């Protein structure tokens, strides 16, 4: 299984939207896709049509066997697991869940995508050599400084997973964003060579409790997610 951990370098950068849209595009290529919500906001299911009244998830169960009842399948065949509404949002609990997901009985070609909360340090996750970590950023000065700080911590720690930064919500009309993206492309080794544009389609499809591929397949947003999926396939070790 190829594990992908998606996380914002800070909150609100579009992590959950990226996980849901990426899952759908990957699923279109006929591989098994399992999306796991590790964030206590438990909002990933909303993108897959889960009614907001459904509040339970893996965090409400003591054992992995009990948590299995909370796996859902959406109309596209994506398997997803909501976080639930337990108040135990500790890294220990999350680590336990990430490790338990290894027990999932899917083919070698399956993709497991984790929606990771922004506030938990990636270095605390049980990451392994073949894992891919996508850290989302916006093209702004705050993320600029956060990226350099993150690079420093990565350099000082013993990491061997594949770590990339990906720009989300890129505004092509902004000179500052253009300049920052060009600077990052030429100076940062871990920057994905493309961006996800800012596109209302992402918000609109969420309003339909769905994703861009189903609501607007010819949109800029969906094109961008297809680029992301293709690029990830090229990085995967399946």
Please give the residue ranges that form the binding site for ligand ATP (CB under 6 A).
Answer: 8, 11-17, 39, 41, 118, 168-169, 196, 198-199, 202-203, 206
Q: Which does 77 bind (CB under 5 to 8 A by kind): ligand ATP, Mg ion, none?
A: none
Which are the contacts of 61, defined by CB distance < 8 A and separation ≥ 6? 67, 69, 70, 84
CB atoms within 10 A of CB 178: 14
Q: Which does 13 bind (CB under 5 to 8 A by kind): Mg ion, ligand ATP, none?
A: ligand ATP
| Residues 3 to 42 in contact with Mg ion, rule: CB under 5 A | 15-16
Rg for the chain, CA atoms, rounded? 17
Which position's Cβ is nearest ligand ATP? Answer: 14
Q: How far apart are CA 125 and CA 158, in angstroms?
A: 13
Q: How far is the CB of 119 from ligand ATP (least distance, A)?
A: 8
Q: Which is nearer to ligand ATP, 2 or 198 (CB)?
A: 198
Q: Which is nearer to ligand ATP, 32 or 219 (CB)?
A: 219
Strand ranges (DSSP E) for the chain?
Answer: 2-8, 33-37, 72-73, 79-81, 111-116, 132-137, 162-170, 191-197
Q: Which does 202 bind (CB under 5 to 8 A by kind): ligand ATP, Mg ion, none?
A: ligand ATP
Q: Which does 206 bind (CB under 5 to 8 A by kind): Mg ion, ligand ATP, none?
A: ligand ATP
Q: How far is the CB of 25 from ligand ATP (least distance, A)?
A: 14
Which position's Cβ is nearest Mg ion? Answer: 16
Q: Which is nearer to ligand ATP, 131 or 224 (CB)?
A: 224
Which are the contacts of 92, defined by CB distance < 8 A and separation ≥ 6? none
CB atoms within 10 A of CB 158: 6
Q: How far is the CB of 235 from ligand ATP (least distance, A)?
A: 21
Q: How far apart are CA 2 and CA 128, in angstroms?
A: 11
Q: Which is nearer to ligand ATP, 11 or 126 (CB)?
A: 11
Q: How far apart are CA 31 and CA 80, in angstroms?
A: 14
47, 143 in Cβ contact below 8 A? Answer: no
Residues that bind Mg ion (CB under 5 A): 15-16
């Amino acid at each position: 299984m190829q594990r992908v951990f998606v996380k914002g370098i800070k909150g609100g950068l579009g992590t959950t939207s990226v996980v849901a849209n990426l899952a759908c595009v990957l699923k279109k290529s006929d591989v098994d896709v399992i999306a796991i919500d590790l964030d206590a906001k438990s909002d990933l299911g909303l993108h897959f049509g889960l009614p907001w009244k459904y509040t339970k998830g893996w965090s409400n169960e003591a054992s992995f066997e009990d948590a299995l009842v909370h796996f859902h399948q959406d109309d596209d065949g994506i398997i997803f697991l909501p976080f639930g509404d337990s108040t135990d949002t500790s890294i220990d609990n999350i680590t336990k869940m990430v490790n338990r997901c290894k027990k999932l009985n899917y083919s070698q070609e399956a993709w497991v995508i984790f929606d990771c909360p922004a506030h938990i340090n990636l270095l605390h996750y049980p990451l392994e050599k073949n894992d891919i970590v996508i850290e989302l950023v916006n093209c702004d000065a705050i993320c600029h400084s956060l990226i350099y700080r993150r690079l420093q911590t990565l350099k000082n720690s013993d990491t061997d997973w594949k770590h990339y930064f990906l720009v989300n919500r890129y505004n092509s009309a902004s000179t500052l964003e253009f300049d920052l993206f060009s600077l990052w492309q030429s100076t940062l080794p871990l920057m994905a060579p493309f961006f996800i544009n800012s596109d209302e389609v992402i918000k609109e499809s969420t309003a339909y409790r769905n994703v861009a591929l189903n609501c607007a397949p010819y949109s800029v947003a969906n094109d961008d997610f297809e680029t992301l999926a293709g690029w990830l396939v090229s990085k995967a070790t399946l």
